């Protein structure tokens, strides 16, 4: 009964997850050490949070880190359970299967726990029709407490006794990939409520994109929690460069045309733009490598395509993996009117970066306010408008920041973005309408705004 309500495809070593993403050697060492310290920290006077929220934009490498850490701890028996969500897989996108799946694995991790869980199910055969809160209490909390009491009373001798001072890891990857946002939030609150009752030190590593509803729960309902934003990882550029160097070395070693590649290929200068366009997110660099390493094509020619020095053949799609990621995110937009408004904003951002030569809006510190004025929006409307795209766009004080430099390459290429292609005419129209209003209002602040945009639009 328990297994029929589980998702075995979501386990760390499930065959359905063949060749999952992992951290490349010599990358992510700082954050891995940080996570390992959090898991093992057992100072009695400063107990750590039992939850670590690892978040970041689409393609930041969250799943690779979760997989790497889970495999490492599984090797030394430090992994208690895992669940890897994936929206496109019906076997891995149902949040109702999370708690039974964790219970099944904990029953294997803690000797003597499985019979207690079995007894709880037999006493309540309708348990899996109960609320998720009830399932957490009867499948995890109560059985672990009973096991702990049995050990304390000396009824049985278990290796679990030593585990009371050795934390065990529970990995929940891609919570945002659960198909129901209400269930996502409910699961977070249930886990937080249950943690304080566990007699064993379980550490929950939860990864997700910074979706607004998940962020709200962590900010207001969870309390103190360890967290790390991969999208602003200071080591990301160095790690991406190490990854690229290692992958190019592997191409030189194993590609069918390896003997025709110079030992110093590619030139270090050719790696710099790839690192820059990765924008601290591994997805771009890994997509480039997948394209270049094809055994049916010349790696040197394909690198030239990536660098924009050679046109791709019609059938070549250098960024197919990246495009699929962007498409999935943009599919979250509710209707055509919302998409049109988003396109106006993104168009203004793109034109502004062209004028200033900056990316990330380093020079201007009130761009959100200016865009709201240009589009006649009320304060806060932009945050609501971009809610579906928070894995690509973030708001920081008065800034609107784009995680991926490659996003505009995608949006401006109709062959890649198709229905989501960026229409810069909408941005020009917004600016023109605003300038017409200026002629009437004669507002000095708005005139300065007109000056900022004027060179781009006219």
- pLDDT computed for residue 313 by the predictor: 79
In this structure, CATH architecture of domain 3-232: 3-Layer(aba) Sandwich (3.40)
Q: Is the dihedral of CA 306, 307, 308, 309 positive or negative?
A: negative
Residue boundaries of the structural domains of the chain: 3-232, 236-318, 332-457
Tokens representing residue 194 in the block: 């249950």
Task: Say how far apart CA 84 and CA 78 lie, in whole Å.
Answer: 17
- pLDDT computed for residue 400 by the predictor: 84
From the CB of residue 148, how many other CB atoms can be counted at a distance below 10 Å?
19
- pLDDT computed for residue 243 by the predictor: 96
Task: Say how far apart CA 207 and CA 387 lie, in whole Å.
Answer: 18
Cross-sheet strand order for the sheet of 168-173: 79-84, 168-173, 202-208, 51-55, 226-229
- pLDDT computed for residue 365 by the predictor: 37
- pLDDT computed for residue 160 by the predictor: 54
| 3 state DSSP class of 83 | strand
pTM higher than 0.75: yes
CB crowding 77-108: b at 16 or more within 10 Å, else e: ebbbbbbbbbeebeebbbbebbbbbbbbbbbe
Taking a C-beta distance cutoff of 8 angstroms, is the pair 108, 114 a contact?
A: yes
**Cis check: omega of the bond before 439, within 30 degrees of 0:** no
List, for residues 217-254, the tens digit of each pLDDT value. Answer: 999 888 789 999 998 899 999 999 999 999 999 999 99
| 3 state DSSP class of 155 | coil
| 3 state DSSP class of 79 | strand
Task: Say how far apart CA 12 and CA 64 lie, in whole Å.
Answer: 11
- Rounded average pLDDT per 10-residue block, the chain, 458 residues: 96 91 93 93 64 94 96 92 95 96 96 96 95 97 94 57 72 96 96 93 96 93 89 93 96 95 95 94 94 94 93 83 91 90 90 58 54 85 91 81 89 92 86 70 49 45
Contacts of 168 (CB under 8 A, 6+ apart): 78, 79, 80, 109, 200, 201, 202, 203
- pLDDT computed for residue 372 by the predictor: 85
Tokens representing residue 215 in the block: 């962020």
Contacts of 110 (CB under 8 A, 6+ apart): 80, 144, 147, 158, 160, 163, 200
| 3 state DSSP class of 62 | helix
Q: Which residues pair with 54 in a beta bridge?
A: 207, 228
């Amino acid at each position: 009964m328990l297994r029929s309500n589980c998702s075995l495809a979501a386990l760390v070593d499930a065959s359905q997850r063949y060749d999952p993403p992992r951290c490349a050697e010599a990358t992510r060492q700082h954050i891995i050490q940080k996570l390992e310290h959090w898991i093992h920290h057992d100072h009695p006077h400063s107990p750590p949070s039992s939850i670590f929220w690892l978040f970041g934009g689409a393609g930041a490498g969250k799943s690779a880190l979760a997989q790497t850490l889970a495999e490492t701890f599984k090797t030394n028996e430090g992994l208690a359970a895992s669940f890897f969500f994936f929206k496109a897989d019906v076997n891995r996108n149902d949040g109702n299967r999370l708690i039974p799946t964790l219970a099944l694995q904990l029953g294997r991790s803690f000797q003597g726990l499985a019979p207690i869980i079995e007894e709880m199910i037999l006493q309540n055969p309708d348990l899996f029709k109960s609320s998720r809160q009830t399932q957490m209490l009867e499948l995890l909390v109560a059985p672990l407490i009973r096991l702990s009491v049995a050990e304390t009373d000396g009824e049985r001798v278990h290796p679990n006794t030593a585990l009371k001072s050795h934390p065990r890891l529970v990995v929940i990857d891609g919570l945002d990939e659960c198909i129901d946002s209400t269930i996502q939030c409910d699961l977070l609150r249930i886990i937080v409520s249950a943690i304080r009752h566990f007699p064993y030190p379980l550490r929950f590593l939860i990864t997700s994109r910074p979706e607004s509803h998940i962020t709200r729960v962590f900010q207001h309902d969870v309390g103190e929690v360890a967290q790390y934003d991969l999208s602003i990882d200071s080591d990301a550029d160095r790690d991406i460069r190490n990854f690229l160097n290692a992958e190019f070395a592997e191409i030189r070693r194993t590609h069918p045309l390896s003997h025709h590649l110079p030992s110093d290929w590619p030139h270090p200068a050719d790696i710099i733009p790839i690192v820059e366009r990765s924008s601290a997110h591994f997805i771009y660099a890994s997509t480039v490598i997948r394209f270049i390493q094809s055994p049916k094509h010349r790696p040197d020619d394909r690198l030239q395509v990536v660098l924009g020095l050679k046109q791709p053949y019609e059938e070549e799609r250098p960024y197919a993996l990246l495009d699929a990621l962007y498409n999935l995110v943009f599919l979250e937009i509710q209707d055509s009117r919302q998409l049109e408004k988003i396109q106006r904003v993104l168009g203004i951002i793109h034109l502004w970066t062209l004028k200033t030569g900056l990316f990330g809006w380093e020079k201007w510190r009130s761009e959100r306010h200016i865009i709201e004025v240009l589009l006649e929006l009320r304060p806060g409307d932009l945050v609501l408008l971009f809610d579906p795209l928070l894995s690509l766009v973030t708001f920081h004080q008065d800034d609107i920041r784009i995680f991926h430099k490659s996003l505009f390459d995608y949006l401006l290429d109709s062959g890649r973005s198709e229905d989501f292609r960026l229409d810069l005419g909408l941005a020009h129209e917004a600016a023109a309408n605003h300038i017409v209003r200026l002629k009437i209002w004669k507002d000095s602040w708005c005139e300065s705004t007109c000056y900022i945009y004027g060179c781009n639009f006219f």
